[in-house]
A = this chain, B = another copy of it.
């Protein structure tokens, strides 16, 4: 209730700071009987982990996951499923300079206002590193959803202003920016490296689609499916906007253009709405797009103040992502899987259906 949990029936509670002892997650409500190996969780974590490529931070973390509870002889037991990821490569000293400053674009000032002080080691709890725990949890949700042939996939559709069409989903893991188009991917990679050379960083857009979702998911009126997805995605610190289906373009359409009509047999005339009408899935593919801001930690000198209010020139050292978009792709998928798993359980609980 104080922010470290998400979901109603398929519910995760995460913990851990960027440079603390460990990250982890407790999943409550995982149905009993799902076959679950550590390997399928590790696979997702490997996609998110740092140190993968030239466009990501050089921090080295194996992000090895250990299942602590909730699995017996390879199957989920229905009880609390906990997973642990130890932090290894912490370099706490790298951050000693900035303990007394408010880094631009970061939550430092807000956390200090909120708690009276803050853990300055790599951003503490506000670091994007906490998303590793989400990815571990999302892997369990993904495994569960496989039984229903439901799957979320995301990719980079714009980085540093360079657009990438969704040409081929199979290409996403073949390039280090996670675009679904090889040529665009190459340009994106070059753009990021050029920006990194200038000690700067860039943002981009992530597209996600969820296939196989049956009609009827989402709960009126406050837990509409799009509301839950928006909550999930905006809970990622780097995400600044979300749009479903035609998104902001819908604001310029007339109903005669925008309305999706049901054709029977699970078919729709169009999908301007992104698969969600009135907050309830309609059986169409669910689609949304996210705006990802540029990573705030850059090594060029920035103006800010210290905790006493004195103006200073800040130079952030350490190892940072020049563009977080490629690494946020598996996190977006994880959150999508978690939301859908929760909504599916909510829907399945009706004993008359």
Which residues 61-104 in A have Cβ within 8 Å of B in the complex?
A: 66-70, 72, 75, 77-82, 84, 102, 104
Does the CB pair B222–A226 fall under 8 Å? no
Contacts of A160 on B, CB cut-off 8 Å? 252, 254
Bound CA–CA A119/B70 (angstroms): 9
Q: Does B231 lie within 8 Å of A240, measured CB to CB?
A: no
Number of copies: 4
State in angstroms the CA–CA spacing of A219 and B114 once bound together.
9
Query: Which of the residues B28, B29, B224, B303 comes within 8 Å of A269, measured between beta carbons?
Result: B303
> Of B23, B158, B283, B351, which one neighbours A251 at CB under 8 angstroms?
B158
A205 touches B279 (CB 8 A): no
Question: Which bucket holds chain A's interface residue count?
Answer: 35 or more
Min CB–CB distance A122 → chain B (angstroms): 12
Return the chain B residue nearest A70 by Cβ. B15
Contact A352 B116 (CB under 8 A): yes
Given A241-B248, A243-B241, A250-B291, A349:B352 Cβ within 8 A: no
Whether the pair A291, B124 counts as a contact (CB closer than 8 A) is: no
Q: Do A201 and B280 form a contact, CB below 8 Å, given A220-B125, A244-B240?
A: no
Least CB distance from A165 to B in Å reads 16
Q: Is A39 an interface residue (CB 8 A)?
A: no
- CB-defined contacts of A216 to chain B, threshold 8 Å: 110-111, 113-115
Query: Closest approach, in angstroms, between the C-beta of A212 and any C-beta of chain B?
Result: 14
Whole-angstrom distance between the alpha carbons of A82 and B82 in the complex?
A: 11
28 pairs from A and B in contact (CB 8 Å cutoff): A1-B7, A3-B221, A4-B28, A5-B222, A13-B26, A15-B70, A15-B80, A16-B69, A21-B66, A21-B69, A33-B115, A72-B119, A78-B115, A107-B220, A110-B276, A113-B214, A114-B280, A202-B255, A203-B252, A222-B232, A230-B230, A240-B244, A241-B243, A248-B248, A251-B291, A255-B297, A258-B293, A273-B293
